[in-house]
């Protein structure tokens, strides 16, 4: 297609810059009656707003990135270049760049209408700074793409958000400096020990997250489950009055002890009601979602990966159905038109009954529950009230969560009755039972996904007698204390305060895309490559094994956003930190070259592990399988006593409990079953290395 602009460009115009084409079209249509134009297939819109000519143009995300022509490391000099010039995957951006470079230089004024966050502010700033004039730039601030909010934000233009821009520049610079220097150092280490062209990557936030994933995977693989014996009584207080009871204040330690209790209870046949109590609890509604809350809830209910939930939420925002999702806030501002949103939702069949009930119950007085977390840029995620088209799958699920949570915040508290019953057997042992009755649904009517579990207890007279119907002896096995999944890593990043609500899920996806963590049969597994990279990082840059250093710089970046720190100072401190890391790296490299080569499987081990072939440490086992042998040696005596069995049977039991027993413990158990020498060593108790 010819590069000639098919629409007439007015001689004097304001350029409004949106982040993506879908957002650009919504902004243009909200501001007036635009003519849709095209330049090399890229859309833009020409319209008149309050007597002024306006052209709405659009980016496609970041148009510029950091680049250096320097090879090797350290490298601290760089330039901002158009991404299409330096990245093959960004060639599609050239058409957007050509349009922007045609429209922007002649504009009389510039309006940044990208997403109001660090990334959006940086995207627009770089475009205006390179192709226009930042001294003539203003900012639109909006949290939804509804016509009324777009028009309102255009009428109330703000100064350019320079602190947000500075924070964006600083984040990109720090991530680039960290990534390129540490990655090149790691790659250089590999080449120095084995040659070749294997490339290892690292990142300021990525590396401690990978180390945490490896730590969790090791804990899972070393998990040696312990049996727990429990007794469950099925009791009856008459026809239709059955309930369960469990030991209170005591527990059985062994299977044999539990079977003795079972025989005694079956022989006795009855228990006496010792006491009963009742309490009523009021449960306040939960606040509206921030992005992290929404990601966790979508994973808990629908197993949607955090990045998928984020992408869906961003699409729903671009469709004008929900507010801007990349927010940390759990608060809804009083300036929001609650009544208007609910009125809009009432036109959606799935929610019409709920909205009528909510208005009736509140009498039209709409006061939302507010959470603790806040975000100066955007409120909590909420629906706009716009009627959606056909939503399916994850889109329907995420939208439904947002709507129901929003409605629930205005509802009355739920009222829950909790009953407690204690019964006593002939030997004075106590058993208790708990019941739950929902007295008033309140907000649970709107958001049923947090409904308390439990059934009501039958009405029983204190001092009465109940009959024993069944006594069940259960053997359950302890589960690992940690999990490894995209959701669990996201929670860890939030708790550790590394990354941002906008970047965390994306960083986790990078670990999967690079093959450091892989999905297998619905479970997350650290790959051999992931192990190797984590090992090399921990040996050469142990400071990155902890999130502390990353967290320190995260707080400095936040200080820039709040105007409390200068970008140049933070960058200078980062450079000094990287210089110190690289100085220590050079000292460490000579001492760990051999172990790095073996970890990357670039050199054969001197003494391979008899199970996996890695370099062995003791007992012809690698460090992982040796730790598993130690765990087995510690656990077997207690398991033997609990189950009233033999050590040999314990080994066979653990080897068969796939999904409960850690992989390395299973492998060592299986080897010990057939390897008499290893079995004898484990049963004697392997000393820790």
**Bridge partners, 64 (sequence order):** 82
Residue 689 binned pLDDT confidence (cut-offs 50, 70, 90): low
Q: Rounded to two decimals, what is the model's pTM?
A: 0.91
For residue 320, pLDDT beyond 80: yes
For residue 1, pLDDT beyond 70: no
CA dihedral 360, 366, 367, 371 (to 10 degrees): 90
Q: Parallel, antiparallel, or unpaired: how do β-strands 79-82 and 517-520 relate? A: unpaired
Using CB atoms within 10 Å of the CB of residue 4, give its burial: 0 to 12 exposed, 13 to 18 middle, 19+ buried: exposed
Per-residue pLDDT reduced to its tens digit, 539-592: 899 988 889 999 999 999 999 999 999 999 999 999 999 999 999 998 888 888
Using CB atoms within 10 Å of the CB of residue 630, give its burial: 0 to 12 exposed, 13 to 18 middle, 19+ buried: buried
Whole-angstrom distance, CA of residue 656 vs CA of residue 333:
56
Helix (H, G, I), strand (E, B) or coil at 554: helix
For residue 96, pLDDT beyond 90: yes
Among left, alpha and beta (phi > 0; psi -120 to 50; other), residue 506 is: alpha
Average pLDDT of the chain?
Answer: 93
Whole-angstrom distance, CA of residue 139 vs CA of residue 109:
11
pLDDT > 70 fraction of the chain, expressed in percent and rounded: 98
Residues 2 and 39: beta-carbon distance below 8 Å: no
Query: Looking at the chain, which residues constitute the CATH 3.40.50.140 domain(s)?
Result: 14-160
Helix (H, G, I), strand (E, B) or coil at 512: helix
Whole-angstrom distance, CA of residue 398 vs CA of residue 325:
11
What residues have CB less than 8 Å from 268, skipping those under 6 apart? 425, 426, 468
Residue 5 binned pLDDT confidence (cut-offs 50, 70, 90): very low
Give the residue carrying structure tokens 């409605």.
407
Q: How many CB atoms lie within 10 A of CB 107?
A: 24
Whole-angstrom distance, CA of residue 382 vs CA of residue 144:
9
Query: Can you state the angle between helices 162-194 and 548-561, rounded to 10 degrees?
Result: 150
Whole-angstrom distance, CA of residue 69 vs CA of residue 77:
9
For residue 180, pLDDT beyond 90: yes
Give the catalytic positions in this structure.
324
Q: What is the DSSP letter of 565?
A: S
Residues 605 and 615: beta-carbon distance below 8 Å: yes
Residue 4 binned pLDDT confidence (cut-offs 50, 70, 90): very low
Residues 357 and 408: beta-carbon distance below 8 Å: no
For residue 361, pLDDT beyond 70: yes
Residues 378 and 116: beta-carbon distance below 8 Å: yes
Residue 532 pLDDT: 87
Query: Looking at the chain, which residues constitute the CATH 1.10.460.10 domain(s)?
Result: 169-222+483-599
More confident residue, 461 or 319: 319
Per-residue pLDDT reduced to its tens digit, 442-500: 999 999 999 999 899 998 888 999 999 999 999 999 999 999 999 999 999 999 999 99
Helix (H, G, I), strand (E, B) or coil at 158: strand
Residue 196 pLDDT: 63
Residue 321 pLDDT: 97
Residues 668 and 609: beta-carbon distance below 8 Å: no
Q: In the predicted model, what is the mean pLDDT of residues 226-230?
A: 95
129-143, 149-163, 220-234, 654-668, range with the lowest pLDDT: 654-668
Query: Looking at the chain, which residues constitute the CATH 1.10.290.10 domain(s)?
Result: 291-408
Residue 26 pLDDT: 96
Whole-angstrom distance, CA of residue 682 vs CA of residue 251:
29
For residue 3, pLDDT beyond 70: no
Whole-angstrom distance, CA of residue 142 vs CA of residue 324:
8
Whole-angstrom distance, CA of residue 379 vs CA of residue 516:
35
DSSP string, 665-680: HHHHHHHHHH-HHHHH
Whole-angstrom distance, CA of residue 510 vs CA of residue 508:
5
Per-residue pLDDT reduced to its tens digit, 249-290: 999 999 999 999 999 999 999 999 999 999 999 999 999 999
Architecture label for domain 227-281+414-477:
Distorted Sandwich (2.70)
Residue 23 binned pLDDT confidence (cut-offs 50, 70, 90): very high
Residue 269's nearest CA partner among 242, 234, 303 is 234
Residue 193 binned pLDDT confidence (cut-offs 50, 70, 90): confident
- CATH number 3.40.50.140 given to 14-160: yes
- CATH number 2.40.50.100 given to 291-408: no
* Domain topology for 169-222+483-599: Topoisomerase I; domain 2 (1.10.460)
Q: How many CB atoms lie within 10 A of CB 604?
A: 10
Whole-angstrom distance, CA of residue 324 vs CA of residue 108:
29
Per-residue pLDDT reduced to its tens digit, 517-531: 999 888 899 998 898
Query: Looking at the chain, which residues constitute the CATH 2.70.20.10 domain(s)?
Result: 227-281+414-477
Dmax over Cα atoms in the chain, in whole Å? 99
**Bridge partners, 138 (sequence order):** 111, 159
What tokens does 5 get? 């602009």
Q: In the predicted model, what is the mean pLDDT of residues 54-61?
A: 96
Residues 475 and 227: beta-carbon distance below 8 Å: yes
Per-residue pLDDT reduced to its tens digit, 635-644: 999 999 999 9
pLDDT > 90 fraction of the chain, expressed in percent and rounded: 84
Per-residue pLDDT reduced to its tens digit, 363-407: 989 999 999 999 988 999 999 999 999 999 999 999 999 999 999
Give the residue carrying structure tokens 């080994």.
651
Using CB atoms within 10 Å of the CB of residue 592, give its burial: 0 to 12 exposed, 13 to 18 middle, 19+ buried: middle
Residue 600 pLDDT: 78
Measure the N-to-C terminal CA separation of the chain; round to a whole number of Å.
70
Residue 426 binned pLDDT confidence (cut-offs 50, 70, 90): very high
Provide the strand spans (E) within 154-263.
Answer: 158-159, 227-236, 242-247
Per-residue pLDDT reduced to its tens digit, 106-122: 999 999 999 999 999 99
Q: In the predicted model, what is the mean pLDDT of residues 65-88?
A: 94
DSSP string, 60-72: -S--EEEE----S
Buried b (16+ CB within 10 A) or exposed e, 260-295: ebbeebeeeeebebbebeeeeeebebbbbbbbbbbb
Residues 299 and 487: beta-carbon distance below 8 Å: yes
């Amino acid at each position: 297609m010819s590069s000639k602009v098919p629409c007439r460009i007015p001689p004097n115009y304001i350029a409004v810059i949106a982040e993506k084409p879908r957002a650009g079209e919504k902004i243009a249509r909200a501001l007036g009656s635009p003519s849709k134009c095209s330049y090399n297939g890229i859309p833009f819109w020409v319209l008149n707003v309050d007597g002024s000519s306006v052209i709405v143009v659009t980016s496609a995300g970041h148009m510029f990135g950091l680049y250096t022509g320097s090879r090797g490391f350290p490298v601290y000099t760089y330039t901002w270049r158009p991404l299409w010039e330096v990245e093959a995957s960004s060639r599609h951006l050239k058409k957007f760049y050509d349009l922007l470079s045609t429209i922007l230089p002649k504009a009389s004024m510039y309006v940044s209408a990208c997403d109001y966050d660090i990334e959006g502010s940086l995207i627009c700033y770089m475009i205006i700074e390179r192709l226009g004039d930042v001294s003539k730039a203003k900012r639109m601030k909006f949290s939804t793409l509804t016509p009324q909010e777009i028009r309102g934000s255009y009428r109330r233009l703000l100064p350019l958000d320079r602190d947000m821009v500075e924070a964006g520049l600083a984040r990109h610079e720090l991530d680039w400096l960290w990534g390129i220097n540490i990655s090149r150092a790691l790659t250089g280490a590999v080449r120095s020990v084995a040659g070749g062209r294997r490339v290892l990557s690292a990142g300021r936030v990525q590396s401690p997250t990978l180390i945490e994933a490896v730590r969790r995977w090791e804990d899972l693989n070393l998990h040696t489950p312990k049996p727990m014996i429990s007794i469950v009584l099925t009791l009856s207080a008459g026809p239709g009055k059955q309930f369960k009871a469990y030991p209170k204040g005591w527990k059985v330690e062994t299977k044999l002890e539990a079977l003795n209790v079972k025989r005694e209870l079956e022989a006795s046949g009855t228990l006496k009601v010792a006491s009963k109590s009742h309490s009523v609890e009021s449960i306040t509604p939960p606040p509206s979602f921030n992005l992290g809350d929404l990601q966790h809830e979508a994973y808990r209910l629908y197993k949607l990966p955090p990045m998928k939930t984020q992408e869906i939420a961003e699409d729903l925002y671009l469709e004008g159905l929900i507010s801007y999702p990349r927010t940390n806030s759990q608060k809804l501002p009083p300036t929001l038109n609650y009544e208007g949103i609910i009125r809009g939702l009432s036109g959606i069949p799935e929610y019409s009954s709920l909205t009528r009930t909510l208005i009736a119950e509140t009498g039209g007085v709409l006061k939302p529950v507010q959470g603790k977390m806040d975000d100066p840029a955007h409120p909590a995620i909420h629906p706009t009230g716009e009627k959606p088209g056909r939503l399916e799958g994850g889109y329907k699920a995420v939208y439904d969560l947002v709507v129901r949570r929003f409605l629930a915040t205005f509802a009355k508290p739920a009222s829950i009755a909790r009953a407690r019953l204690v019964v006593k057997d002939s030997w004075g042992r106590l058993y208790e039972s708990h019941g739950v009755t929902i007295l008033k649904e309140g907000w649970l009517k709107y958001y049923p996904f947090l409904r308390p579990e439990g059934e009501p207890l039958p009405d029983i007279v204190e001092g009465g007698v109940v009959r024993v119907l069944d006594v069940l002896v259960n053997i359950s096995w302890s589960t690992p204390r940690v999990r490894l999944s995209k959701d669990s890593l996201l929670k860890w990043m939030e708790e550790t305060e590394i990354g941002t609500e906008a970047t965390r899920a994306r960083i986790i996806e990078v670990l999967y895309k690079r093959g450091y963590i892989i999905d297998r049969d619905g479970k997350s597994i650290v790959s051999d490559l992931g192990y190797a990279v984590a090992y090399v990082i921990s040996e050469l840059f142990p400071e990155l094994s902890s999130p502390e250093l990353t967290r320190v710089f995260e707080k400095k970046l936040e200080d820039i956003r709040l105007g409390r720190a200068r970008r140049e100072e933070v960058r200078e401190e980062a450079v000094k930190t990287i210089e110190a890391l690289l100085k220590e790296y050079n000292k460490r490299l000579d001492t760990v070259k051999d172990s790095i080569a073996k970890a990357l499987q670039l050199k054969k081990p001197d003494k391979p592990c008899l199970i996996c072939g890695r370099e062995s440490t003791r007992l012809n086992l690698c460090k992982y399988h040796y730790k598993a042998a130690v765990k087995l040696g510690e656990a077997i005596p207690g398991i033997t006593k609990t189950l009233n069995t033999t050590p040999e049977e314990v080994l066979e039991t653990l080897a068969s409990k796939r999904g409960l027993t850690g992989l390395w413990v299973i492998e060592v158990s299986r080897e010990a079953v057939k390897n008499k020498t290893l079995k004898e060593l484990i049963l004697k108790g392997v000393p820790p290395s």
